[in-house]
Structures are given as C-alpha cells and as structure tokens.
Structure 1
Amino acid sequence: MKALRAEAEWAPRNGCVPKGRELTERRASSGSRMYRKPVLDIFEVKEPEPGPDELLVKVKYCGICGSDTHVYESDDEGYVIFSGPAKFPCTLGHEYSGEVVAVGREVTGFRKGDIITGESVLWCGTCMPCRYGMLNQCENVELLGLTHDGAFAEYIAVKAKYCWNLNRLHDRFTDEEVLKIGTLVEPIGCAYNGIFISGGGFSPGAYAVVYGAGPIGLGAVLLLKAAGAAKIIAVDVVDERLGLAKRMGADHVLNAAGTEDLEEIIMDLTSGWGADLQVEAAGAARQTVPMMEKLYSRRAKIIYLGRAEALATVELNRIVSGAHSIIGSRGHSGYGIFPNIIRLLQEDRLNGVGEMITSVFPFSGIADAFTTSTKRVDGKILIDIG
C-alpha cells in the first residue's frame, strides 16, 4: 500500500544530550532538538494486519495538522520545526476518518463497515498518570503520525480503545460529509480539552479572545460560541483565516499585523473589562504573552495550546494580584471529549463546522498540499486517500 513517510537525520543539537528513550530508540522528546534535514515522500509499504485488539481501517480522509507542517519545514540549521515528541522514519498523519474493514477477535463495539475516527494520543492505560485518568500525560505515550506510524496511508491498524464511531452523524450529514467532518474531531478535541478540562471551563457570558485562527483556534471559536461566551474576539495575521473565524462565530476579528493599539481595541470591545478567557493557539508566545498580560480581567485564564520552543517572560506579580491562571494543555484523550464533540456535531451545535475545510487534495497531490500548508492561509487541508 502507499504511505507518506517522513525521514530525517538524527543529529542532536550542540548542548542537547540524548537520554532515556532518545538513546535506546532515537525517540526524541523534542524533534526540533534532535532531527534535521527532513524528507517526505510516498513509499510502498506492507499493509498492516490488525492485532486481536485492533481495527483495520481503510483511510478515507486525513488532515494536515500544523505538527505535520512543522515536520516538513526546517529552520536555518536544517532542524525540523516540530518541538514535540518525534521518531523517524514514520508515516505521518493523525487527523483521520475511514471505514472499518477488519475487526480483531477480541474487539467488541465495532464491526465491518463502521465509519470511525480516532485519538492520536496513544496512551498505555497502565502507568500511574493513566491510572489517575490523565491519559494525555501518559508516561509511555506515543503520538500517531509522529512517533508511531500514522494515517497518511491507504490502511491503518489501530487499537479499538482509541477509536470512536461516527455512524450517528449520518442522521445529520451525508456520507461524504461524515467522512470529512470526522477528521475535525481530533483538532476540535484539543481545543475542548484546553478550555473545558485543563482550563476548567468558563462562565456563560464571559469575554473570550482567541489568538491564532488555524484549525485549533477555529475549533476554540466554535466551542466558545456553543458554550455561551458573550463576545468572542479572534486575532491572527492572515485575513483569510480571520474570515473563517468570523464565519465560525467570532463576533470581532482583528489582524495583528495591520492593527495598531490592539490591546486598546480589545479593551474597548470588552467595555474596559478585559478578557476573562484567552486561548493561545498560535504558538507565538513572544508576541502573544505580552499582549495577553495587558488584557486580563479579574481571575482571568490563559489557555496555552500552541507548541513552540520560544521562551516568554511572565509578570508573576500581576498573576498573583489578579488571581489569574496560565494553563498548558496537550491532547484530547479521555474525559468524554471525543464522544461529546460527536454529540455536538450530531445536534448541530457547532454551526458552520464544515466551512473549516478549505482545500481537499488527492493523495497523489500531497506534496502540493504540504507546500500550500506552509502559506498558512487555509483552515483545514484534507488529503483524499481514496
């Protein structure tokens, strides 16, 4: 079968000393510190066989995530930009939907013909964080498409415990729409986890600002709207993405590259109160953190979803005085996140979600799709695997 594989050279940066699994498996805790000269290409690989607890899925669609783009891109020294866990060579892709074509003998709850999507955080279920229910902080975690072969492939074998059935969406959407929208559950799940689980939610009527109108930021806008934010302000540097945010439900959109006195404008839009909740989905801490610190309301929250190596200075005295919180969040597993998003989709609570998908490329055109992704003007780019 055909699969998109990423290969890269293992070359720890000066000052970065491999340890643990980095020494034994070349599984980097931060890809941008250990791997350089990435090369992506379609290869012929052996079709996987499902284990007793696995499903064999014929992949229909798979989305290009910012993480995939960051593997494709490299910095001035040739190192991949992706700063999360990585192990190459690896089949990329983790935002997928497809049809179950074979079911392992120990699997219950799934059958051939089911349309499914799946989590990309591959938790073990036995380490202490998992036993506490903190699946996204699993000590033995693998990441689909980054440390474990992923879904830019014609078939994928995946443990049933990571999979979720999309069949109920056929009551609301066409077969094709279910397959496309099914790929969005994963990125929306990251926003859901940050806002409602890691961040503890917000009071309906709150003022919210979202930085970064890529797919996770757009997912945040959809969820904030559904959960009753009184006013949602989206900030980005790309007009096309801001247009999407407006259609997703943002009340105001601001281009940070072309707007002076951005903080004053946001304070005016919130009647001088400031932001109760700020979601950082841009991965641009050096630019966003100084701005966010000027926009706290009272007991305000910053939910940090963007991943980057950059350091940012935080004024702790202001956090103490205002009882503010800065909360990091990774992943989307556990806490009913996937089934709850599927319910929201089924009941049409995420209005306009399909508009997030702005481009669809054939598998044969995946190189062009990745080039397009580096322009950062699309919402979600999908690959039609076939």
Structure 2
Amino acid sequence: MSQKMRAAVLYADWDPKPDFKLGAKDIEGRQTYLGSKVWRNPRVVIEERDIPKPGPGEVLIEVKACGICGSDVHMAQPDEQGYIWYPGLTGFPAVLGHEFSGVVVEAGPGAINKATNRPFKGGEEVCAEEMLWCGRCQPCADGYPNHCERLDEIGFNVDGAFAKYIVVPDRVVWSLEPLKERYQGMELFLAGSLVEPTSVAYNAVIQRGGGIKPGDNVVICGGGPVGLAACAILKRQGAARVILSEPEPARAELGLKMGADYVINPLKEDFVHRVLEITDGYGAKLYLEATGLPTVVYPQIEQVIWEARGLNATVVVVARADAKMPVTGEVLQVRRAQIVGAQGHSGEGTFPRVIQSMATGMNMLPLITKQITLDEVPENLVTLRTDRKECKITVRLDKE
C-alpha cells in the first residue's frame, strides 16, 4: 500500500467576530462550536496526506463513495465578510466528507464488527456514523450521543472521507451486509453512502419528531437530500399525504419519485392555502423545516397550524442556520403545537433501522443525481452554492 493518498482539505483563517467568546469546548486557533462566527476565507485544496493507521478499537476503511453534504458546501462558502456559512462544530484544516461507505482494510487491536460480534477480518463492506461520540459523558450515558460533550465530527473537526482511506472507531461502523441482496458492485457502495443522510432524516422525523400514525398528513419544507429522504421514510410509515414544498422543478420531480404525493412551489403558490386545501382544512401532524431559511419558512408553517382544524402538530427543525425563528407562543399554546430541534443521527438504533429499511425496499439511490472524481470536489462545492438542480453529488473513489 502506498504511504500517501490524495485528499480534499479545507483550510480557513481563525478570525473571530467581535462578539465571539471562546467556549468551554472551543480550542483557541483550532476548533469552535460556532463556526460562522470564527472561520474566515475558506479554501479547498487537493493535496497529499499520509495514509492513517488504525489504533486500538479503530478500523482503517478504503473509501469507495462519499456524498457531498450541504454542510460541506456551507463550510467552504464565505459570506460577504468572508466568514463561513456553517454555524456549528468546526476545526480546520480538515479533510471534508462524511457520507461514506467502503471496505475494511485493517483493524486495530480489539476492533469488533457489530454484525458478527467478532474482530474485523478485513474485506467487510461498511458505512459509518459521522458523529464520534465518547460514550462516557452524561448525554451519552442518558442515551443522547448526538449531544455528546466531547463530540468530534468526521469531516468537520477531524479528517473525513474525501480521501482514499479513513480511520474511525469501531463503535460507529455498520455492516452493509443486509444490502447485498438488493445491491451489487458499486451500487452497494453508492447506497451505503446514503445511509448517513437518510439517518439524519430518520432521526428528525421519527426519533425527534415522534413519527406519525398511519393516515396522518405531513409537510416537508425543502427538497434537499434530507427532505427527500424524509418523504420516503414517512410514506413508508403510512402517511396519508406527503406534501413537499420545493421550488426547483428537478427536485420537485424527484420528490414525487421518493414518496411525495403533492408538491407545492412556494414561489408561485400560496403555501398556507395549498396545505389547507390538500388536507381538507386539517393541516399536518408533522412539519419538517429542511430549507435552512427559518425566517421565511417558519411563519408560513405557523400560519397553517393556526388556521388548521387539527391539533397537536410538531414542527421539526433539522436544517442548520444562524438565524432566529419568529415564533408566536400563542399559536403553540392554542393549537397545542410544539417545535423540536434535531441534530445528527446517532443512537436509538437509527443506522441499523435505516439499513434494514433500505434492504427491504426503501430505494434511496435516485437521490444521487451526479457522480464525480475527487479532483472535481472543489468546483462542485462552488456549483452547489447556487445550482439546486442536482440533489446528491457523490464522489467515487473506487478508481483513485
């Protein structure tokens, strides 16, 4: 094995805004939980890196496929002052990429495959969680690893999978064996790379949103990969009407393939009127905010909740945004509604349930609308800032 590999690395300047205060979990000059307030002048370069070695309890994976996430785009996207858009945990320089699948090459001492409860042998097809939870802090002990007090994130503050190889702890590695009856060859790895973003949607609408009962209506705002994955999940759960709000025609059409029954173009139609019309005035049980534009989208959701005959609506906020939502408490009180936030995907059996759903017919492959090489990562990160015709652009590393 060559001792070097090529990787897409994001660099940025540590230049905190005047109102920024170093937090207890921040590291001066290296890491912050408030990325958009600190990092400036992001740039992505393809460079050579050392191939990592697995330590005790770790696994070396040869990456086959890795999707570009909206967070990758926003970490590499400067605003008018040069600060990155992404508001969360970040530590640069770091290799980007976290939606990946591949093959186990080598395992460190004590690294166990959950599929067999035995040490990894090598050659196993796997995917991995993006959130590296410690398992020892209070949130982890309480069953909330997404909110780990020592959280690291692949491709955010530790090196990610836009590279030929990656090392991860065995606790976040999941076997793709159940998918092999339905997918073969490269399709297996493309499907495997979609487990992570689909798990983000699953965590949002099932774990945090509480799911639905068969016959309930749902509204998904935003036809990106997470919003479209939510369409598939909720239709599979028995939603009577899955309503997708999405202005981009290509994504709207894809939404219908993924499980949406109706699509609203909020730029050309009255969102509130159409949701009430489609649901016979009852509104929806669950609303997903997956646009990242809460100041625009939430007031419309709130108006539907206020005017609808149905009670007990849940609004789940999954898109990351450095913005305050204009919430009217009276609407939540009178209509017995609630707002919940959703972060990440780990815990409560999310990954294995998504894998089993995909293995038994929930086909997520249509989300991938373009496949690229590692060299094309920087230009496609720029393209995705404004071009919404593509849904999921996936980097293939099988020929690197």
TM over 0.5: yes
Contact kept? 1:64, 1:373, Cα under 8 Å: no
Aligned residues: 383
CA–CA separation in structure 2 for the residues paired with 1:131 and 1:8: 34
Query: Which stretches of structure 1, 4 residues or more, deviate above 6 A after TM superposition?
Result: none
**Aligned AA (1:377):** K
Q: Tell me, what secondary structure is at the counterpart of 1:22? A: coil
Partner in structure 2 of residue 241 of structure 1: 251
Partner in structure 2 of residue 107 of structure 1: 111
Q: What RMSD over aligned residues (CA atoms) do the two structures have, in Å?
A: 1.1
Q: Does 1:90 align with 2:101?
A: no
What's the TM-score once normalised by structure 2's chain length? Answer: 0.94
Partner in structure 2 of residue 56 of structure 1: 60
CA–CA separation in structure 2 for the residues paired with 1:300 and 1:66: 27
> CA distance change for structure 1 residues 335 and 25 in 2, over 3 Å: closer, same or farther?
farther
Partner in structure 1 of residue 392 of structure 2: 380
Q: Does 1:312 align with 2:306?
A: no
Q: Tell me, what secondary structure is at the counterpart of 2:286? A: strand
Q: Does 1:299 align with 2:312?
A: yes
CA–CA separation in structure 2 for the residues paired with 1:368 and 1:317: 46
> CA distance change for structure 1 residues 23 and 164 in 2, over 3 Å: closer, same or farther?
closer
* Residue pairs, 1:84-233, within 5 angstroms: 84-109=88-113, 110-233=120-243
Deviation at 1:14, TM superposition (A): 1.9
CA–CA separation in structure 2 for the residues paired with 1:111 and 1:303: 41
* Residue pairs, 1:244-283, within 5 angstroms: 244-259=254-269, 261-283=270-292
Give CA-to-partner distance per residue, 1:190-248, whole Å, 9 cap, x none. 11111111122111111100001000001100101110000001012211111110111
Q: Tell me, what secondary structure is at the counterpart of 2:230? A: helix
Give CA-to-partner distance per residue, 1:22-67, whole Å, 9 cap, x none. 3446311111000010010111011000012111100011100000
**Which residue of 362, 365, 368 corresponds with 2:373?**
362
CA–CA separation in structure 1 for the residues paired with 2:344 and 2:29: 23
Contact kept? 2:22, 2:28, Cα under 8 Å: no
Partner in structure 2 of residue 285 of structure 1: 294
CA–CA separation in structure 2 for the residues paired with 1:292 and 1:43: 45
Deviation at 1:173, TM superposition (A): 1.1
What's the TM-score once normalised by structure 1's chain length? Answer: 0.97
Deviation at 1:356, TM superposition (A): 0.7
Deviation at 1:21, TM superposition (A): 3.7
* Residue pairs, 1:320-331, within 5 angstroms: 320-331=333-344
Deviation at 1:283, TM superposition (A): 1.0
Q: Does 1:2 align with 2:16?
A: no
Q: Does 1:18 align with 2:38?
A: no
Give CA-to-partner distance per residue, 1:249-285, whole Å, 9 cap, x none. 10011111222x2211110000011111101111110
Report % sequence identity: 36
**Aligned AA (1:279):** L
**Aligned AA (2:312):** R
CA–CA separation in structure 2 for the residues paired with 1:241 and 1:131: 39
CA–CA separation in structure 2 for the residues paired with 1:381 and 1:107: 31
CA–CA separation in structure 1 for the residues paired with 2:334 and 2:130: 38
Deviation at 1:115, TM superposition (A): 0.7
Contact kept? 2:8, 2:374, Cα under 8 Å: no
Q: Tell me, what secondary structure is at the counterpart of 2:106? A: strand
CA–CA separation in structure 1 for the residues paired with 2:375 and 2:73: 17
Partner in structure 1 of residue 39 of structure 2: 35
* Residue pairs, 1:343-358, within 5 angstroms: 343-348=356-361, 350-351=362-363, 353-358=364-369
Deviation at 1:19, TM superposition (A): 3.0
Q: Tell me, what secondary structure is at the counterpart of 2:88? A: coil
Q: Please list every run of 5 or more consecutive structure 2 residues that lacks an aligned counterpart in the other structure.
A: 114-119
**Aligned AA (1:10):** W
Contact kept? 1:12, 1:18, Cα under 8 Å: no
Contact kept? 1:281, 1:304, Cα under 8 Å: yes
Deviation at 1:364, TM superposition (A): 2.0
CA–CA separation in structure 2 for the residues paired with 1:96 and 1:58: 10
CA–CA separation in structure 2 for the residues paired with 1:24 and 1:71: 18
Contact kept? 1:67, 1:82, Cα under 8 Å: yes
CA–CA separation in structure 2 for the residues paired with 1:338 and 1:23: 30
CA–CA separation in structure 2 for the residues paired with 1:48 and 1:15: 38
Moved more, 376-385 or 224-233: 376-385
Q: Tell me, what secondary structure is at the counterpart of 1:256? A: coil
**Aligned AA (1:149):** D
